[in-house]
Structure 1
Amino acid sequence: MTDRTGHRMASTSRRLDRFDAELARKPGAAVEALLADLAAAQGPIIEETEGGHDALVTFVYVDDVDQVELNTPALMLNAPRVSQPMRRAAGTNVWTLVVRIARDVTTAYRFHVDPPTLGDTTEEMMQVVSDPDRYAAFTAAYTRSVRPDPYNPRQVADLADGSEEPQSSVLTMPDADALPEANDVSDRVVEHRLPGGRRIDVYRPAGGGEDLPLVVVLDGEHCRRGLVLEHLDTAITEGRVPPVRAVLWHNLSPTSRMAEMACNPALPQALTDELFPWLDKRAELPPTERRVLAGFSYGGLATAYTGLHRPDLFGAALPVSPSLFFTPDPHTEPGEWLTRQITPETTHTRWFLAVGRLEDIPIGLPGVAPDATMLSCARRFHDALRSAGADIFGLLEHPSGHEMFTVNAAVEQGLAALLTARTQGTDPRE
């Protein structure tokens, strides 16, 4: 299988060839040697390839089970598939899969034992994630199936499961940027309930401060598990981002976001009616110019919608991996509806966009162009903003997938640009 950006599954690797040869002679010794190499590598075994742009990554899982699959954005599988079956070495409990991955990628991976599916089509997947009962059943089955890599000490939260503990392992390729340490912010994040019952988490940087910019981040429960505040605090501490007050805006339920964030005017109105009076009463609501709205996936779509249609609420918008393929009615309205809403009259907000480079996978939904991907949709939205004269501070194409690595990089780089720069951004593809 070859994907659109040069990543592909490989039939074998040098280390796997050696394992197969040793297995034929001394099975026990072959398995023992492979496990020793996994322990030394602290995870998958990475081998150089000719040309140097990518490397072969041999993923290994060991267990006496009937089916094991690998789940990682690096596979770039067409939705709704999220995992690929691994191969079991005959006569052993060793499961393997080799993937060719760019050398600068950082991504997560996890193993699944007898994983559930989200349906046979992207449309079926969207129906599941919009239905509370079906989504709860899928999440429970997904959580039961997940296995982190026991040889890899680096773990992060998997936003698709319901576990309180990190269940995904981290793959950092040889030329990837080192991941920064995440500060402990437990003493500077306070949970509140707004009068309508919605949860918010309020973060204040060390040293406090009264006159701080405000950053509102949608999908608060996901971003809390994804350590967005911890990474933001590290960037502030190290001087890469100016001090800010941040509010994580939680969803009313796991599935309510699919309606509330679908270019729905109810969301910016809820921010106006619920959050802003609460902040204003505490003298923590700065002028519009010093407010930033950020969101990921459907939250990124809602962020872009609010930036275009309610510039009175936020001076800057930071959509991350936004679901810009959206159409309000696939039978009458083509996808990328919001991009067509861009005019010179809707470009009063400052913009910084971000998307994962691994998100170059066809969306596959009714009404959406067959070749449309999260990456291509973000590029077209960016280009439309620029053509309309918007104040753009960047388009980050991060070497990761639809995951928190992209979010954390986008929050750091986007806030640094939006809060400190005042010059027109440039197109990173030029």
Structure 2
Amino acid sequence: MVRRLAILLLALVVLEPLAAAERAYVGQLDAQGGKRIPLSLNAGDYLTGELPGAGLGLDLQDTEGAHLRRLVPSQGGRRSFMLVAPAGGTFRLQLSGAPAADYRLELQPVVPLTAQRAPKERLASPRLRALQDELARGGDSEAFWREMAVRGTPLVEALDAQQDRVTFLWRGARHNVRLFGGPGYEHAALQRLGDSDVWFKTFELPRQTRLSYQLAPDVPELDADAMTRRRAILATAQADPLNRGAFPERGPDAYQYDSVLELAEAPPQPWIAPRPGVARGSLQRHSFASMALGNTRSVYLYRPAGYRPGAKGNALLYLFDAEAYLGKVSTPTILDNLIAAGQIPPTAVVLIDNPSPQSRAAELPPNPDFAHFLGEELTPWLRRQGISAAAERTVIGGSSYGGLASAYAALRYPQVFGNVLSQSGSFWWAPPGGEAQWLTREYIAAPRLPLRFYLEAGQFEGGVGQSGIFETTRHLRDVLRAKGYPVIHREWASGHDYLNWRGTLADGLIALLGRPQG
């Protein structure tokens, strides 16, 4: 009997632990309700385990029995634990509970500090995955950058029948790289590939995408307010050195222009370039002093070739942000081409400049004084210049705040402006302390007016944490249609971007002026 008991006790010793890989300990506590298990750890080792039995506790002690940490409380609480060894050496795990209580302690394999690393990220771009593997084998990025110099950037790789993977790249920044523009507002951060000189950010984009962008390496980190920190990107934002496209055109240095991304199915922009044989209209600059606003600004008058004041069928276009619509958007050329092709009737244009950035921010968001300037100062002056059209053949338009101003001016002066052309209008706007989408609610409250609308927005203009231009343009569309307004609504794979607006201006004019009114 004694010999059989000895064999049984020996078997229990062998079963503790059960297996080295699992490090599972089973048995019974001693007569005092305890059990000590020695444990050797190196500093920084990561250990996890579980003590599933109820009524059992587990502490970490030093070799002298001094308490270091309670890992599992005996009553209630979590039955699993995680710890990082505070120093190297021998410790012990102290089990406690009722005398002779059964226990099972399961320990996962120790993860040494030298083995603690994040899993290798699976990169979305197949080409970058190949580069990642090359770097892991001890190679470098030289061949990759030579390839990109020939291929051009961004790196475009097919994803499926509708989308491409587009990877923006920068070489050799020290601290950070930000994307200025592109598919979003949030100055997306590029990621460094290991410790190489490759910085990257990959997006999945529709094949219809058209956008402009810059890249900003080593943007300063400032101890300042959020807007100051955000604007610091302008200190380093510049064209992509490996991108051959430029918008509006290459300037004296890379900080003066944007780079261009146009995927394979980006809509054509057939009206933006001068055409042989198309007669050019005239453009005159005037200085206009407003009594309502107490300031003076430049206004530009475009008259198409052969324009006849007062002729039946003449149309008129009011456009805000004259500098942009004469520079980044070649408005006179677009009008020349559309009129020569019979897409729209003879259309004069008044392009309204901003006296200053501050005045733009004060005037273009809904402002009764600015609406008065448009309807009761500028419009009579235009008539004296021989430029006029009936309200149903008059379009007021612009982008961003200009789209917002257009919809507001038409609400205030429908007898002057019968058509609204909004390119990514800022319909999220609210006056200080007011509720968002103020102008949309004004249209809800107002009676239906004799107005027609062309509204457009980019898919990359969605809000982050609140409704953005994309969503609020849709909301205005729904409100207007519910009230019975004729609305043409377009959405593009683009951002807040004159590169797209220069093409879609023609779409808006054809939609509003190139079809029978009604």
The question of a shared fold, defined as TM-score above 0.5 by the shorter chain, is answered with yes
Residue 15 of structure 1 and its aligned partner are, at CA, apart by: 0.8
| 1:73 counterpart letter in structure 2 | G
Whole-angstrom CA distance in 2 between matches of 1:69 and 1:164? 16
Whole-angstrom CA distance in 1 between matches of 2:175 and 2:368? 48
Aligned-residue RMSD, C-alpha: 3.4
Whole-angstrom CA distance in 2 between matches of 1:296 and 1:354? 10
| 2:134 counterpart letter in structure 1 | E
User: 2:382 matched to 1:279?
Assistant: yes
Residue 83 of structure 1 and its aligned partner are, at CA, apart by: 3.4
For residue 335 of structure 1, what is the aligned residue in structure 2? 436
Aligned match for 2:147, one of 28, 37, 57: 37
Aligned match for 1:150, one of 212, 236, 241: 241
Whole-angstrom CA distance in 1 between matches of 2:219 and 2:305? 43
Aligned match for 2:156, one of 25, 40, 46: 46
User: 2:274 matched to 1:173?
Assistant: no
1:414-425 map, 5 Å = 414-422=508-516
| 1:14 counterpart letter in structure 2 | P
Instruction: Decide whether aligned partners of structure 1 residues 383 and 270 sit closer, same or farther in structure 2, where only a CA change above 3 A counts.
Output: same
| 2:161 counterpart letter in structure 1 | G
1:222-301 map, 5 Å = 222-229=324-331, 230-301=333-404
The residue matched to 1:285 in structure 2 has which SS?
coil
The residue matched to 2:477 in structure 1 has which SS?
helix
For residue 16 of structure 1, what is the aligned residue in structure 2? 128
1:392-411 map, 5 Å = 392=487, 394-411=488-505
For residue 28 of structure 2, what is the aligned residue in structure 1? none
Per residue, is there more strand in 1 or in 2?
2
1:386-397 map, 5 Å = 386-392=481-487, 394-397=488-491
Whole-angstrom CA distance in 2 between matches of 1:10 and 1:18? 11
Residue 256 of structure 1 and its aligned partner are, at CA, apart by: 1.5
For residue 384 of structure 1, what is the aligned residue in structure 2? 479
User: 2:455 matched to 1:353?
Assistant: yes
Instruction: Decide whether aligned partners of structure 1 residues 178 and 36 sit closer, same or farther in structure 2, where only a CA change above 3 A counts.
Output: farther
The residue matched to 1:146 in structure 2 has which SS?
coil
| 1:339 counterpart letter in structure 2 | T
1:190-248 superposed Cα distances (whole Å, 9 cap, x missing partner): 32211342111222334444443111111222333322414444444454444421221
1:273-312 superposed Cα distances (whole Å, 9 cap, x missing partner): 4422332222112233321100211111111111222102
| 1:47 counterpart letter in structure 2 | E
Whole-angstrom CA distance in 2 between matches of 1:334 and 1:55? 39
Instruction: Decide whether aligned partners of structure 1 residues 102 and 413 sit closer, same or farther in structure 2, where only a CA change above 3 A counts.
Output: same
Q: Percent identity?
A: 29
Larger Rg: 2
User: 2:200 matched to 1:200?
Assistant: no
Whole-angstrom CA distance in 1 between matches of 2:439 and 2:421? 15
The answer to whether the 8 Å contact 1:216/1:294 transfers is yes
Whole-angstrom CA distance in 2 between matches of 1:16 and 1:186? 49
The answer to whether the 8 Å contact 2:210/2:494 transfers is yes
Aligned length: 383
| 2:266 counterpart letter in structure 1 | A
User: 2:180 matched to 1:71?
Assistant: yes
Per residue, is there more helix in 1 or in 2?
1
Aligned match for 2:413, one of 300, 310, 318: 310
The residue matched to 1:293 in structure 2 has which SS?
strand
The residue matched to 2:304 in structure 1 has which SS?
coil
The answer to whether the 8 Å contact 1:183/1:231 transfers is yes
| 2:168 counterpart letter in structure 1 | F
Relative to the length of structure 2, the TM-score reads 0.66
Whole-angstrom CA distance in 1 between matches of 2:222 and 2:265? 34
Instruction: Decide whether aligned partners of structure 1 residues 119 and 214 sit closer, same or farther in structure 2, where only a CA change above 3 A counts.
Output: farther
Residue 188 of structure 1 and its aligned partner are, at CA, apart by: 3.5
Residue 88 of structure 1 and its aligned partner are, at CA, apart by: 5.1
Whole-angstrom CA distance in 1 between matches of 2:235 and 2:219? 8
Instruction: Decide whether aligned partners of structure 1 residues 319 and 143 sit closer, same or farther in structure 2, where only a CA change above 3 A counts.
Output: same
Instruction: Decide whether aligned partners of structure 1 residues 224 and 423 sit closer, same or farther in structure 2, where only a CA change above 3 A counts.
Output: closer
Answer with 232-241 or 246-255: which moved more: 232-241
Residue 27 of structure 1 and its aligned partner are, at CA, apart by: 4.3
Whole-angstrom CA distance in 2 between matches of 1:117 and 1:191? 43
Relative to the length of structure 1, the TM-score reads 0.78
Gaps of 5+ in 1: 1-8, 129-133, 365-369, 425-430
Instruction: Decide whether aligned partners of structure 1 residues 187 and 292 sit closer, same or farther in structure 2, where only a CA change above 3 A counts.
Output: closer
The residue matched to 2:502 in structure 1 has which SS?
helix
The answer to whether the 8 Å contact 2:177/2:215 transfers is yes
